[in-house]
Amino acid sequence: MRQALTFWLLVLILILNASVAQGARPHTMRLDYFHSGNASMEIFSIEELVLEPLAWPGNPARPVDEIPRGKYAFEIRATAAGDTLYSRSFSSVYGEWETTAEAHRMKRTFHESLRFPAPTQPFEIVITKRDADNHFQEIWRTELDPDDYLIHQESAPYSRQVTPIEYNGDPATKVDLLLLGDGYTADEQETFLQRARELTEVLFATAPFKDRRKDFNVWALAPVAAESGVSRPSTGFYRDSPLGARYDAFRSERYILTYENKAMRRIASSAPYDFIAILTNSDTYGGGGIYGLYSTAAANSAWAGYLFVHEFGHHFAGLADEYYVSPVAYEPVDEIREPYEPNVTALLDADNLKWKHLVDKDTPLPTEWPKAEYDEHSLAYQVRRARMREENVAEGEMNQLFRSNQNIVEGMFSKAKYRNAIGAFEGGNYVSEGIYRSEMNCIMFTRTTDFCTVCSNAIERVIDEYTRH
């Protein structure tokens, strides 16, 4: 079966590259650059321009981003005419790091990439960033020549290891999701593929992905690791895994990121993709998700399905976390402003609430919910959780705590008057007061199984951008 699937993928690659040769589809181009600075300044510098081995997998009918949800955005502009050829918004590891306490003490550099359909004429890349009022302001631009002989042309060294998990058609009209495994040895490749298939089924059992399954292709690839597992520095466990995924990002024990963007991009370029989800060969609860960059999930955790879907919500649709009790590494904001994420609001103007059209006329804004009871329970739960992590208890004990907490919370919510309403429930985006979410519960708030209506609608808009003509 594996040989048949690999052969089939190679045929697809040949088809994609043939379309490039015929002029029907451009190559995929990538700008690799360094993003440096601290909490008060930032600098961009080019590493290299790269021509990836496969054709551009994106939707040719939607070259301009219609739903910018990231902290940053970039445009590809024709140098001669100044026309926008392509644009996308995105967020980044740097963009999160600059909001931590560490960014006030030191400067750091992160490797980043922008991918786009290769232009045929000289072009400019313009990067913009949201200001305090969420307006995009230009912060960097550079001119590039697609005919420069110094452009690096990548091969596809991992193409024989790519497995199609779900194929529904031409990448140009589908959302292409690439599942990258990290920390899987040669003997664990089938284990990875099994987890990839299982988590794919979890995703497509969750609305709205359930009804849009035919709009997706899913690919899987786990570069062979010398040792099993990924690093968890806070416990003294280190692995030199191919993708460099690791726990303790920003010193948050459950946050899994990779800072090795170059390695990830070189590996990923062997497959067509719009989005990347990294599955780590680990069982400790953890994950992460950054809009337009990647998501991560501990594939062997008892909560892997929840982690995979929740973190993919960040990466795919730019959804904000709706919880606010769990500790995070980010510094508190000085002033509450309207957040740009689609599923949270500062409710500064109830008449212009983002999801006002979904609110029943009899639902009050703000909307009552058992917040005091929830806060009292959750703060005690977080103290116990932190203590158990410090004691490095077995993961089975942690899972029992997580299950008990979820049962208590759901029981609490089941008695609430507006448990099924869409309104404005205070608490969200790591802030207890002054930020509101649209429903009492959602997979972006607790370890439940469903997205709220607002989050579902936000996800559908992204699917449309990658599939509709």
Instruction: Classify 215 in phi/psi space as left (phi over 0), alpha (psi -120 to 50) or beta.
Output: alpha
Cα-trace Rg, the chain: 22
Kindly tell me the sign of the dihedral angle through the C-alpha atoms of 202, 208, 214, 219. negative
Q: What are the tens digits of pLDDT across the range 208-250?
A: 999 999 999 999 999 999 999 999 999 999 999 999 999 999 9
* Cis previous bond, 342, omega within 30: no
Query: Hey, what are 273's tokens?
Result: 């993709």
The pLDDT value recorded for residue 140 is 98
CA distances from 434 to 313, 317, 338, 437 (A): 23, 23, 10, 10
User: Which pLDDT belongs to residue 9?
Assistant: 55
How far apart CA 319 and CA 339 sit, in angstroms, is 11
Split at pLDDT 50, 70, 90, the class of 12 is low
Helix axes 189-204, 304-317, angle to 10 degrees: 70
What is the per-residue pLDDT across 92-109, written as a single tens digit (0 to 9) for each?
999 999 999 999 999 999
- DSSP letters, 148-196, are -TT-EE---TTGGG-EEEE--S-GGGSEEEEEEEES--GGGHHHHHHHH
* pTM beyond cutoff 0.75: yes
- Give the pLDDT of residue 18: 46
Burial 180-202 (b: 16+ CB within 10 A, else e): bbbbbbeebbebbbebbeebbeb
The 10s digit of each residue's pLDDT in 337-387 is 999 999 999 999 999 999 999 999 999 999 999 999 999 999 999 999 999
pLDDT score, position 22? 45
**Rounded-to-integer distance, Cα 460 and Cα 194, Å:** 27
How would residue 23 be classed by pLDDT, with cut points 50, 70 and 90? low
- Give the number of other Cβ atoms within 10 Å of residue 223's Cβ: 21
Confidence at 188, pLDDT banded by 50, 70, 90: very high
Counting Cα atoms < 13 Å in the Cβ hemisphere of 305 gives: 14
Half-sphere exposure of residue 311, counting CA atoms within 13 Å on the CB side? 29
What count of Cα atoms within 13 Å lies in the side-chain half-sphere of residue 420? 2
Pair 29, 52: CB distance under 8 Å: yes
290 pLDDT band (50/70/90 cuts)? very high
Collect all residues with Cβ–Cβ distance below 8 Å to 77 and sequence separation of at least 6.
83, 84, 85, 123, 124, 125, 126
Q: Can you list the domains of the chain with their CATH numbers? A: 25-153 (2.60.40.3250), 159-317 (3.40.390.10), 344-461 (no CATH)
Angle, alpha carbons 414-418-424 (nearest 5°):
125
pLDDT at residue 271 greater than cutoff 80: yes
Contacts of 100 by beta carbon, 8 Å cutoff, 6+ apart: 250, 329, 330, 331
- Please report, rounded to a whole number, the percentage of residues in the chain having pLDDT higher than 70: 95
* Element containing residue 456 per DSSP (H, E): helix 453-467
pLDDT in tens, 451-466: 999 999 999 999 999 9
